[in-house]
């Protein structure tokens, strides 16, 4: 008799368990299966001045836009995206960013906005006034006259970190104004990255006034330049080189 009671109790417990499972299954079916779009395959973010450039790789053709969220998801923007190839990423720019570090969350959407991806997170930096105010200009040194081919030159006194170029303005002896003449630092360096070559100026004089400023990239992949103000220098008493 006891054995029969145990069997009945076990049977009732099994029925209750099956009923609970069926209830959960029915609720799952009623809610519908959750379908997600593909998130980005990969994302790179390049810093800029109060903005960043987003490069993305995407293999899902159903994705039409992405929603970028930052500042603890309190700020956001939506951007059109498209399927890409491994060698040709898509891109868009997020603007209006204060200077600082950001954690971006990207959620991809279809055209109807009824499907969404899980998030793709990546960190980035936006530069601004603080960086601009921290950069300093260089100064000229070693003023030289080259008799052949009749040019004046000077060298840069100090090369500062993340400087990429120098820009020069001056007036030739015939009165012609030369403005924003750019010299890339890479072109002034030897194979060991030592800056040994001078900046050459045509049509100068043994006493000449130049304006000089320095161009910076805070990072090699930065999409914007940061440039110091022009400073004026008088070059006089050049060294003589007979070439």
Percentage of the chain beyond pLDDT 90 is 80
- Average pLDDT estimate for 157-170: 97
Kindly tell me if the per-residue pLDDT of 138 is higher than 90: yes
Cβ atoms 198, 142 nearer than 8 A:
yes
pTM (2 decimals)?
0.81
**Strand pairing partners for 233?**
210
Q: Which residue is it, tokens 């995206």?
A: 81
Structure confidence at residue 9 as a pLDDT band (50, 70, 90)? very low
- Give the tens place of pLDDT for each residue, 72-100: 999 999 999 999 999 999 999 999 999 99
pLDDT for res 243: 63
18: its two tokens: 């099956």
Residue with tokens 């049977």: 11
Mind listing the domains of the chain with CATH numbers? 42-131 (2.60.40.10), 135-234 (2.60.40)
- If DSSP states are collapsed to H, E and C, what string results for 197-215? CCEEEECCCCEEEEEEEEE
The Cα 83–Cα 193 span in angstroms is: 40
């Amino acid at each position: 008799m006891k054995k029969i009671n145990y069997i009945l109790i076990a049977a009732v417990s099994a029925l209750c368990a099956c009923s609970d499972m069926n209830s959960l299954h029915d609720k799952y079916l009623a809610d519908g299966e959750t379908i997600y779009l593909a998130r980005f395959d990969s994302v790179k973010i390049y810093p800029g001045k109060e903005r960043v450039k987003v490069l993305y790789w995407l293999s899902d053709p159903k994705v039409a836009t992405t929603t970028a969220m930052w500042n603890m998801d309190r700020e956001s923007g939506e951007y059109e995206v498209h399927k890409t190839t491994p060698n040709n990423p898509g891109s868009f720019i997020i603007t209006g960013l204060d200077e600082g570090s950001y954690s971006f969350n990207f959620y991809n959407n279809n055209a109807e906005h009824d499907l969404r991806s899980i998030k793709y997170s990546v960190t980035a930096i936006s530069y601004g006034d603080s960086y601009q105010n921290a950069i300093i200009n260089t100064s000229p040194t070693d003023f030289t006259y080259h008799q052949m081919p009749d040019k004046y030159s000077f060298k840069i006194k100090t090369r500062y970190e993340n400087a990429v170029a120098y820009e020069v303005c001056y007036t030739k002896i015939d009165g012609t104004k030369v403005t924003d003449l750019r010299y890339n630092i890479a072109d002034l360096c030897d194979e060991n990255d030592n800056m040994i070559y001078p900046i050459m100026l045509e049509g100068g004089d043994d006493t000449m006034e130049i304006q000089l400023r320095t161009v910076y990239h805070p990072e090699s992949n930065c999409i914007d330049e940061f440039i110091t103000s022009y400073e004026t220098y008088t070059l006089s008493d050049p060294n003589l080189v007979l070439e």
